[in-house]
A and B are shown apart, each in its own frame.
Chain A
């Protein structure tokens, strides 16, 4: 029997059983219990004077403690993801968005320097493609900068019993609706999770396990394009810190490994990412702006020879050649007052049809809020003058990848 039919039976029977008591309650006969008012009598004697003094002193102490609490509230909350649903959801969404940001055809992630670079800056420059990849993930996974909301909903897809929904807005204020459909199978030692992460017209096979380790529930997830190209994320949280280890594997080769700590300060999320490989250490502290339209990053990087730290402001910039928004990096290092600019790749844009003409589309035509739809667009995809090319784009801007992914999805189904 289908669930909807079952619901209808239950609802019908409940309606049949439900008594109508509205007419049987006479409101006038009900005596509402009045609000309790505590009356105090004033007695002016030494005992009272002393007790008032003590009370006053207590109030002062409470005020001081209150101030401490307020100051304390600006301390980072290092375990902002509270429920199992949030922990599962964050891992699945972040793994899938890292996978989305991975170009499996080696065509993208060309971070282009826009000005002269010195040694201290170029040491961070070499890491910008990796940073780019994480920014693409964080643009979605950090939500709208002050709220990460995962909701368990009834699965609307056959074959999957459970569903976690996550909505997020990217830096252009486009909304993305992620749904993680999954089944879970219990074994004596662990829970196996198998499912798909779906958003827009994209899907990634996502699997995971949950198990108990020293009394705490631990989990790990893997979002994959195929057996050799995947993102693996493992929950390494403790009772005081929420940390996730990521491994990005492309064609069987580990391309990046990191540990990400998530925390919230004054209800705003920020992450710390640590990467370490071949003698090079990189630490990033990333936060979205209050307007959810830019990132600010504090970085520290070192290798055997050089050490550098500084700030990176990342905003969106419309690229007229590529007809989409890209990241504009402004890198300032603490050892040098120069600001160096770079252009990075950005993967998020909504499925749309863009039309370009011989006349270069200006950024002015792009409207903030539609991310990938910047450019002159008509309903039927034609223009009245100039050469017209019509391009169907999807998140990832990689028709070849999309074809591969679609094949994998078809095969896996």
Chain B
């Protein structure tokens, strides 16, 4: 079901708690999916999710009614997570779409304390982002394509490849 967030924008500008709770409940899965595809810690995830919603509220006047609010919020989450990563990993310049090569080559190994990483640890950041947006956030593929700035066919191809990889990984684990 598509949620019309634009009806809540005026109330968000008035800092209405109910409106914020509604927006939060209907967007948290997407924001979470974006952030955990980039960071690997519960504490960081929590901080960045808070930062995302605070930044969204601070800048709510810059949102134009009629645009895709969900995509706008996810872009804020992505920018915050990438900024955070840049600050904490000086060698790494990372964006799942733009700088994946550098990220893959230079990322210092960091042990994750997120349960979800047990399952998706072998996926690339880009694959993680697409898989989580689809399975956790239940986003439509065409909306995911906009968020990750890739053609729909490419997103589908990456998604199917990643899911097959996960199936194989889990089957291996079950056998062992």
Contact = CB atoms under 8 A, between A and B. Distances in A.
Contact of B58 (A24, A32, A35): A32
Interface stretch (A10-18, A132-140, A244-252): A10-18
B40 to A, nearest CB: 11
Contact of B21 (A22, A84, A162): A22
Interface in A249-301: none
Contact of B28 (A13, A18, A85): A18
Contacts of B25: 22
| 9 A-B pairs closest in CB distance | A19-B46, A27-B15, A13-B115, A14-B136, A13-B116, A84-B153, A35-B61, A30-B57, A21-B50
- Secondary structure call for the B interface: helix
A34 B135 contact: no
Interface string B106-129: 000000001110111000000000
17 contacts: A3-B163, A9-B119, A10-B119, A11-B136, A18-B28, A18-B29, A21-B24, A22-B24, A22-B25, A27-B17, A33-B59, A35-B61, A83-B153, A84-B151, A84-B153, A152-B153, A162-B156
Contacts of A34: 61
Contacts of B142: 151
A116 interface: no
A17 B152 CA distance: 29
Interface string A17-43: 111011011011011111100000000
Interface of A: 1, 3, 6-7, 9-11, 13-14, 16-19, 21-22, 24-25, 27-28, 30-35, 83-85, 151-153, 161-162
A28 B142 CA distance: 36
Interface stretch (B76-84, B94-102, B165-173): B165-173
Contacts of B170: 1, 6, 9
A359 to B, nearest CB: 48
A346 B49 CA distance: 58
B176 interface: no
Nearest to B25: A22
B38 interface: no
B118 A10 contact: no
A31 B10 CA distance: 15
B65 interface: no
B116 to A, nearest CB: 4
Interface in B20-46: 20-21, 24-25, 28-29, 32-33, 36, 42, 45-46
Contacts of A16: 115-116
